[in-house]
A and B are shown apart, each in its own frame.
Chain A
Amino acid sequence: SSELTQDPAVSVALGQTVRITCQGDSLRSYYASWYQQKPGQAPVLVIYGKNNRPSGIPDRFSGSSSGNTASLTITGAQAEDEADYYCNSRDSSGNRYVFGTGTKVTVL
């Protein structure tokens, strides 16, 4: 299967920690990248590779991977972290890409 499955929605109290997961067979071979998308805006890369953050992304964002599951953790969630989050990786063929189904994060 070349699908990446995410929980549709999660909520987190301000300042607390939330983990978003992404499951798929291709994750056994490829690391996921993670994208944050706020309403009406283009996606922004927040995590890539084993656990790398692009310049400008706060260190409260971190990534991990085990077996067929990749995870994005926000430690000390802030109000501005409320957004949709998508994982992405190459598919099982290695030539194409697949996005996860997306997770809406609400900061309470």
Chain B
Amino acid sequence: EVQLVESGGGLVKPGGSLRLSCAASGFTFSSYSMNWVRQAPGKGLEWVSSISSSSSYIYYADSVKGRFTISRDNAKNSLYLQMNSLRAEDTAVYYCARGTVTTDSDSFDIWGQGTMVTVSS
């Protein structure tokens, strides 16, 4: 079964750090780009960051650039998001999502169940 399982969420104080993990199974992890997408309580989806299959290409949303770092370990079938200098507005459910490219488009075809990050004093 193709599966993504996030972990590492929790309560952290403003200015603090947290590292999220996403464990992949059921597919060849090293062949796919991966993404982090977040959703603040009661709000819409927001793309956070993407990393290509070999880590050659990495992109961030302006809202997290300079504070968050995406990485992956293909040997461990794992995706990570290091979050530093956290702010209240980073409070959200964080999803990891597999990126899939076809001849005419790309999309996020597999999603994890999400992990909640709460930034509060």
B11 at the interface (CB under 8 A from A): no
Of all chain B residues, the one with the shortest Cβ separation from A43 is B111
- Main secondary structure on chain B at its contact with chain A? strand
| Stretch from A17-25, A48-56, A75-83 contacting the other chain | A48-56
B21 at the interface (CB under 8 A from A): no
What does the 1/0 interface line of A75-102 toward B look like (CB < 8 Å)? 0000000001010101000011111111
Q: How large is the interface on A (under 10, 10 to 19, 20 to 34, 35 or more residues)?
A: 20 to 34
Q: Establish whether residues A43 and B95, one from each chain, have CB atoms under 8 Å apart when the complex forms.
A: yes
What does the 1/0 interface line of B84-121 toward A look like (CB < 8 Å)? 00000000000101001011111111011110000000
B positions within 8 Å CB-CB of A: 35, 37, 44-47, 50, 57, 59-61, 95, 97, 100, 102-109, 111-114
Q: Establish whether residues B107 and A102, one from each chain, have CB atoms under 8 Å apart when the complex forms.
A: no
Q: Establish whether residues A48 and B61, one from each chain, have CB atoms under 8 Å apart when the complex forms.
A: no
Q: Which of A31, A42, A50, A96 contacts B47 (CB 8 A)?
A: A96
Q: Which of B35, B61, B105 contacts A50 (CB 8 A)?
A: B105
> Could you tell me the distance between the alpha carbons of A45 and B95 in the complex, rounded to whole angstroms?
14
Taking CB atoms, residues of chain A closer than 8 Å to B47 are 88, 96-99
Of all chain A residues, the one with the shortest Cβ separation from B46 is A99
Task: Given A48-B102, A49-B102, A99-B46, answer yes or no on A88-B108 (Cβ-Cβ < 8 Å).
Answer: yes
Q: Establish whether residues A97 and B50, one from each chain, have CB atoms under 8 Å apart when the complex forms.
A: yes
Of all chain A residues, the one with the shortest Cβ separation from B45 is A99
Can you name 5 A-B residue pairings with CB atoms under 8 Å?
A42-B112, A43-B111, A45-B108, A48-B107, A88-B47
